[in-house]
Structure 1
Amino acid sequence: MDKVNAAADRLDSALSRLEGALESLFERAGDPGVVRRELEAMVADRARLADELDASLARERQLQALADEASEALGAAIEEVRAALNREGSS
């Protein structure tokens, strides 16, 4: 009977240590439901930010193409003005 009581005491002690360790773990990790919701929110934010980045990059490409067109048009206009000035100066 003493062996059974000693084993029961060791089991009780082990269970108490386990409960303490679990409580400590849950305190550090937080509520699993809260952690799961935070993770889901972070994943959703990442997806939204990735979409916004893709849209921004596409807009940047469009703006760069427009800037290139404007630069070419401006260069052509400058050349036309120079040519006109040279014609006027030659006459």
Structure 2
Amino acid sequence: MIREAAGESALETAAKRLERAVTLLEERLAERPASVSGGGLFDNGGHSLAAELEKSRAREKALEEAGAEASAALGRAILEIRAALNGAAPPVQSPET
């Protein structure tokens, strides 16, 4: 009986971590780049286009990092769920992994 309660707790903890990672990823994906002010992208000799390209690259990097974080969280959650289903304690991991 005690093992079942501990298993459910580990499952719930893993599910909550996974949910937080997915929520973070969804929030970052929902962010929209700022609209270009003024005329068009080609105004000012292409400076606006270059600025938008740089913003896009920064956003791409941020999304890649968020995806990597979500992937790592998913991996940890899978390990915790497997451990809970097998009746074993989940492996201890540092917060950075």
Tell me the TM-score normalised to structure 2 length.
Answer: 0.45
The answer to which structure, 1 or 2, has the higher relative contact order (CA under 8 A, 6+ apart) is: 2
Tell me the TM-score normalised to structure 1 length.
Answer: 0.48
